[in-house]
Structure 1
């Protein structure tokens, strides 16, 4: 199987890399490396690309710097170029440190060792089944196998917590199960067989990792994307050099790891933009009519499109926003959704654009309608010419290389990893419906005679609560994904955020908004920190979803913060604003809320505003606030 088959091929990738080496400006070389990382590549080309990435260079706008520590019980040095290049393709500029071979326990347990000095954002614990093997004997009972598994998992849990204490997000690599069987198909039914022990340990490891908030690098995913376990790992290379992953499979392994890291940083895509004709259904609705579309039972092609729609619908259910971008008459395109075998319904689509304009222009319109950045979008189209145009005009949009056979559409879209997740929250289940409800809100606003009347008719309720285990994952999502309404753009891994919340004097607030159109979910997160002997509160971080802008939510949130400060006898509040190219919309937020300032900017460009609590709690006329 060709590596990274979901990426478009390049006519001469090696030549393009060599040509990019001519430049001496580090930032230009970095941008060239990032551009070329978007193409299909093998192990050799990946190494060439890695050498193009300059060392010790500042991360420019659009890239996020991160530090990855790898603690492994097998050889990983040959994988590092693939990891760096894959991280670059996923929006991360990675610096990597490796612990000495097999010394993962020593690295984690040393209080002031090299790992602690490296101060990683991520720790990959890459272990294999030969490390601390659970040899319980073929005659072991299920209880004996369970006890041995529990002891190993408990040791790993302790190591995860040591890694989290460093403020890092720990990623646990799953186990590659044995490919030799002692009993054949009966192996899994013998509790002490190597196959059964490895399966039990891997399952317990994944369950415990979920409970601990530890993402898992699933080696079964790596194997599937490289053509099977034999393509991922070669026994000869294991015995020669303890390479668990072959060099040929390194690009895929690096990408699977990078997509997990990107997801933890909030860089996964949020919206799937779909072409219709010969993408969602077979045929051209304008020529064949809705009744002539190939869908459902009766033909392999029709069943393939139905299967793809099932996969799309499940993406919508898990929180991916669905949109349509089709060259069609709007009425005719919408009539296609009335086909008896359509799985997707018109109501599932949060933004529907069907006209004869170019698709790059329409995709910009979709992003604007949904309040999303172009880097949140994935575009799927069966037409290679349309895909090429969108890649050229909108390089921020992910465009998987779809195959000629529509039966493979779900596999390719899934393989692309664009929608990788490290958590799944109740709010995710409501997200696509929430974006669709925003269209109803927009329609209501167009019909309103004045803004105040519109806001009153929304019947808004703001639910304010302290961040707890139930809301933590969604809070981290919002902190990492929000760019525009983000006062300081401080980012956190889940482990780091837990440490911050546990700091004395820090309060974490979560805010949900409900109106007559439905529940908008958790829409804002605020962190405050006590200063000056607890007589002043610093608003250390404040983010809010752009879906609720223009409704006075920020005023209601500040009213909650101010009331809490007054009740605790706090004399003043201070707010910081750190400018970035994408958060100019909140540059005057504190001034609009009645703060005095700003003070002169510091060396990093940050400015500070101050609110004297003797002025009282500001009113919030259109939103009812409830403490939960």
Structure 2
């Protein structure tokens, strides 16, 4: 059973152990190591985080600190945690861990000192973890307090607990903005959305030391799991939308453009407009939009000419309006966008269409939005499908980049010779070692690229920073610009110098620049670095996955010689570094 949002909390509480055992049996890949350092009882938190990640095909191994030992286990020597060597560390603290509240006589200076003391306490944890482990750290902020002795004045009084919590949350937020590899989990918003009255259960706190009610734990764990997936580059990249009674009320083929409900004329029309505004906001931060509708193409496009339509045709990177089954159209949309089915979310008011797509393509996220337009945004938003760990320029420009790719495809159709087409693009590659500015995008690309990826190793920000600073590693990133625009940073190489050779442990490239010969440019630069370092040979490793068959023969194409093949399909390759020129014309200028 694939878990879909909204969560059936009662069912999950009854069956989560059985579900975890079943899902675990289906996975044989290396587990992701997650340490949970808690300020309260965390057993169920760990179990539900594991369940939601297993549900997404991510094998998990968890480490759980002793009760309320989050500070001690982070700051002091901890051989057990050292041996576990976590890749993700979740610090599960909450308002129950705030105990030194300002007293009624506290001055503004007293409160500021108390805030500094509390913040420094947590910063010591983050710095200690950062110095010992190459791990992504996820830290809760704080929900509002259970009680307010000052009533509504608590939010504004100098000594108010509410005011103190909000100012402390701001300090946590500011820290997260300047420290990559540190992710702030917004428990303050989550608890407010869930409802503080339901969030707190003092009976469970006194009896079991649960910081929040048992009903809130699955929602919390689901949110944390979404951030873990985002750190691995597994958030969804596109929303595929039905049209009739999804993006507007009514049926465009029957009601015509003037008869559909959109705008401010009535409650339903306003709700459909709000959904379009929400999708527009997703689009503006880099989520691709596509149409999949059972309609005549002309009628479907006509709906976006309505004067109150928020979305326009230019907002969609793919448009499939026909009478084919939607699972077929969705598969074609993924091919058009050159992304995997597991990068898609599907939005449709019709439960039979949702079930068809969910059963045919289990990798596609299909939130159960129901048929009430007032619920659509709530279920889509709270499904945490598009979680971010950071927002950069290339995220915002993603839709524009896909539009530029369509222009490239049009140009290609005008050339009979592919080599002439590549030259006509006027490409310029910039290939450089990792630097502080590029590192965030390099890490993001490393954790979300699957097709052109020789080993599919995943590394967090701190691990990539370690490679960048290492004297025994050669790191390269590639940016590609052409006559249609800047593709951004689209390729990454990490290689380690050992035993007189250079071992390529990571080589990947974005699907946006497939078949543009950037791999030859990256290889030339890597070879040049090897020559300058006096390295005699390059060693490449190919590890097959379900998605990277595209690069199975890459090393052979680059004139590497295969030295061994394993039963699992993996292979080792070697290339002798000489002074000879590469026997390949690269259709771009290269700057470094």
Is TM > 0.5 for Structure 1 vs Structure 2? yes
* Alpha-carbon separation, structure 2, partners of 1:56 and 1:223: 29
Q: Of residues 528, 549, 552 in structure 1, which corresponds to 2:517?
A: 552
Judged with a 3 Å threshold, the aligned counterparts in structure 2 of structure 1 residues 100 and 43 are, in CA distance, closer, same or farther, namely farther
Task: State the alpha-carbon separation in 2 of the partners of residues 132 and 333 from structure 1.
Answer: 55
- SS of equivalent to 1:283: coil
Partner of 1:156 in structure 2?
122
- Picking from 598, 611, 614, the partner of 2:562 is 598
Task: Give the structure 2 partner of residue 512 of structure 1.
Answer: 479
Quick check: 1:233 aligned with 2:200? yes
What is the alpha-carbon distance in structure 2 between the residues aligned to residue 245 and residue 308 of structure 1?
Answer: 31
CA–CA separation in structure 2 for the residues paired with 1:38 and 1:548: 34
Q: Describe the shift of the 1:564–1:233 C-alpha distance in structure 2 as closer, same or farther (beyond 3 A).
A: same
Residue 492 of structure 1: which of 436, 455, 459 is its match?
A: 459
- Please state how far the C-alpha of 1:430 moved relative to its aligned partner: 0.6
Change (3 A) 1:333 1:531: same
Of residues 308-317 and 551-560 in structure 1, the stretch that sits farther from structure 2 once superposed is 551-560
Inter-partner Cα distance in structure 2 for 1:190 and 1:41: 40
Query: Post-superposition, which runs of at least 4 consecutive aligned residues in structure 1 deviate over 6 A?
Result: none
Query: In the alignment, which of 67, 77, 96 is matched to residue 111 of structure 1?
Result: 77
Deviates more, 1:255-264 or 1:458-467: 458-467
Whether the 8 Å CA contact 1:70–1:126 is kept in 2: the answer is: yes
Tell me which residue corresponds to 1:216. 184
1:59/1:554 CA distance change after superposition, 3 Å: farther
Instruction: Call closer, same or farther: CA 1:269–1:552 in 2, change over 3 Å.
Output: same
* Secondary structure of 1:470's aligned partner: coil
Aligned mate of 1:502, from 449, 458, 469:
469
TM-score w.r.t. the length of structure 2 is 0.94
Task: Please state whether the residue corresponding to 2:101 is helix, strand or coil.
Answer: coil
- For the pair 1:475 / 2:442, whether they are aligned, the reply is yes
Distance, in Å, in 2 between the alignment partners of 1:493 and 1:217 is 17
- Indicate the SS of the match to 2:139: strand
Aligned positions of 1:350-499 closer than 5 A: 350-499=317-466
Q: 190-199 or 35-44: which moved more?
A: 35-44
Q: Which shifted more, 76-85 or 250-259? A: 76-85
What is the match of residue 310 of structure 1?
A: 277
Contact 2:96 2:211 in 1 (8 A): no
Q: Secondary structure at the match of 1:609?
A: strand
Match of 1:17 in 2: none
For residue 580 of structure 1, what is the aligned residue in structure 2?
Answer: 545
Q: Structure 1 residues 335 and 558, CA, compared in 2 at 3 Å: closer, same or farther?
A: same
Counterpart of 1:272 (choices 225, 239, 249) is 239
The aligned residue for residue 7 of structure 1 is none
* 1:121-149 deviations in Å (ceiling 9; x for gaps): 21111113343533333333334323322
Task: Give the secondary-structure state (helix, strand or coil) at the position aligned to 1:598.
Answer: strand
User: Which residue matches 2:57?
Assistant: 91
Quick check: 1:527 aligned with 2:494?
Answer: yes
Structure 2: distance between partners of 1:158 and 1:442:
52
CA contact (8 A) 1:83 1:255 kept: yes
Q: Which residue of 2 aligns with 1:102?
A: 68
* Post-superposition CA distance 1:41-84 (Å, at most 9, x none): 324543423234339967637x7721221111111223333222
Partner of 1:255: 222
> 1:526-580: per-residue Cα shift (whole Å, max 9, x none)?
1122223xx5322221010112111111111112222333344433332222222
CA distances 1:338-370 after superposition (whole Å, capped 9, x unpaired):
221121121111111111101000000000111
Q: Is the 8 A contact 2:454 2:508 kept in 1?
A: yes
Question: SS of 1:508's equivalent?
Answer: strand
Is the contact between residue 541 and residue 572 of structure 2 (CA under 8 Å) also seen in structure 1? yes
Structure 1 residue 341 and structure 2 residue 308: aligned?
yes
SS in structure 1 at match of 2:83: helix
Q: For 1:129 and 1:35, locate their aligned partners in 2 and report how far apart those are by CA, in whole Å.
A: 33
Equivalent pair of 2:562/2:571 in contact (CA under 8 Å): no
CA deviation map 1:244-286 (0-9, x unaligned)? 1211222212211111111111111111101111111122222
**Aligned to 2:575, which of 586, 610, 615?**
610
What per-residue deviation string (whole Å, max 9, x for no partner) do you get for residues 480-501 of structure 1? 1111110111111223332333
Give, in angstroms, the shift of residue 36 of structure 1: 5.7
Q: What per-residue deviation string (whole Å, max 9, x for no partner) do you get for residues 207-235 of structure 1?
A: 2123222112221343255x311212212
- 1:319-349 deviation line (CA, Å, top 9, x unaligned): 1111111111112211222221121121111
Unaligned runs of 5+ in 2: none
Aligned counterparts of 1:307 and 1:191: Cα–Cα separation in 2: 38
- CA–CA separation in structure 2 for the residues paired with 1:602 and 1:449: 40
Indicate the larger mover: 543-552 or 180-189.
180-189
Task: Name the structure 2 match of 1:129.
Answer: 95
Separation in 1 of the partners of 2:149 and 2:531? 70
Contact kept, 8 Å, 2:350 with 2:371, in 1: the verdict is no
Tell me the TM-score normalised to structure 1 length: 0.89
Equivalent position of 2:111 in the other structure: 145
Say whether the 8 Å CA contact 1:278–1:284 is kept in structure 2: yes
Are the equivalent residues in 1 in contact too, given 2:351–2:370 (CA < 8 A)? no
Asked if structure 1 preserves the Cα contact closer than 8 Å seen for 2:502 and 2:538, the reply is yes
Residues 611 and 329 (structure 1 numbering): CA distance in 2 closer, same or farther, change over 3 Å?
farther
Partner Cα separation in structure 2 for residue 47 and residue 472 of structure 1: 43
Relative to structure 1, the CA distance from residue 245 to residue 471 in structure 2 (aligned partners, 3 Å threshold; closer, same or farther) is: same
Q: Please, which moves more after superposition, 165-174 or 43-52?
A: 43-52
Structure 1: distance between partners of 2:427 and 2:201: 60
The alignment covers a number of residue pairs equal to 589
Aligned CA-pair RMSD = 2.3
